[in-house]
Structure 1
Amino acid sequence: MSVTNTSGRRKTAVARIYLKEGSGTITVNGKDHKEYFPTLPLQYIVNQSFEVSELTGRYDVKVNVAGGGVKGQAEAVRLAIAKAIVELDADKKSALRAKGLVTRDMRMVERKKPGRKKARKKFQFSKR
């Protein structure tokens, strides 16, 4: 039984996963994924790669995820799982790519600039 090791990133979240054949359990930082990601939309994001590739319940996943918020972490896990599925079965890549699951979302928070309140917001201007 081979173990596939991949990683995924989203914003500042980094997910490292170990995927092997099994019963379909997903463990995130030592907890069940339904406990770590309590809301249904986040659970859907985590399972999306399996559902698109029609492999639900066939692989066990052990996840170490750090950084960012829960949404970014869930999307990082989704990308890592998609990359692992492609590594195991290259035929699934076209289905995953059609849903945009194998592409890393490069959008990051823009840094704050000096002389400004935030990245683009300026300080209040008083004409008089």
Structure 2
Amino acid sequence: MDSKKELIFKKENIGLGKRKQSIARVFLLPGDGKIIINKTSGNKYLQYNDNYLNTVWSPLEKLNLEKQFDIVALVQGGGLTGQAQAIQLGVARLLCTMDKENRSILKPFGFLTRDSRIKERKKYGLRKARKAPQYSKR
């Protein structure tokens, strides 16, 4: 990142996204379409996987803004899928705070809906959340 571009850590400049165990704090900077995740290139961090990269870029692509902003994200927890989807939610939320008209465009695509599915807890007497030990008749 250039020294001219400083992150301004204010609440209104942060898009917060969550998915499973992942939490992403997202910043949008004026730029030419780069992704930086945890101070690493986005392509390298997401292992050059097109599915993850498309997930992260999709809110900006729907608004035709992919070449106008750089995405800077700080991500914790979970795996790459959850992290990519958390970044997507953070970007979409941040775009809505920047311009209220973006909400009506992004909402039908489901970018503003937090996916609340999380891992089910393990129950006693079972091996996992629902997997029971093998039944023996005799």
TM over 0.5: yes
1:77 matched to which residue of 2? 87
SS in 2 for 1:19: strand
TM-score normalised to the size of structure 2? 0.87
Deviations 1:40-89 (A, max 9, x none): 11111010111112211111221110100000000000000000000101
Q: For residues 19 and 40 of structure 1, what CA distance do their matches in structure 2 show?
A: 21
1:113 matched to which residue of 2? 123
1:39 matched to which residue of 2? 49
The number of equivalent residue pairs is 128
Q: For residues 105 and 43 of structure 2, what CA distance do their matches in structure 1 show?
A: 25
Q: CA RMSD in A?
A: 1.6
Q: Which runs of 4+ in 1 moved over 3 A?
A: none
1:7 matched to which residue of 2? 16
Q: For residues 55 and 107 of structure 1, what CA distance do their matches in structure 2 show?
A: 30
The gaps in structure 2 that reach 5 residues or longer are none
**AA in 1 matched with 2:64:** E
Q: For residues 51 and 91 of structure 1, what CA distance do their matches in structure 2 show?
A: 15
The gaps in structure 1 that reach 5 residues or longer are none
The alignment-based identity, stated in percent, is: 36
SS in 1 for 2:23: strand
2:38 matched to which residue of 1? 29
SS in 2 for 1:81: helix
Q: For residues 136 and 92 of structure 2, what CA distance do their matches in structure 1 show?
A: 52
Q: For residues 72 and 66 of structure 2, what CA distance do their matches in structure 1 show?
A: 15
1:90 matched to which residue of 2? 100
Give the superposition deviation at 1:22.
Answer: 2.2
Deviations 1:14-62 (A, max 9, x none): 1011112222222111111111112111111010111112211111221
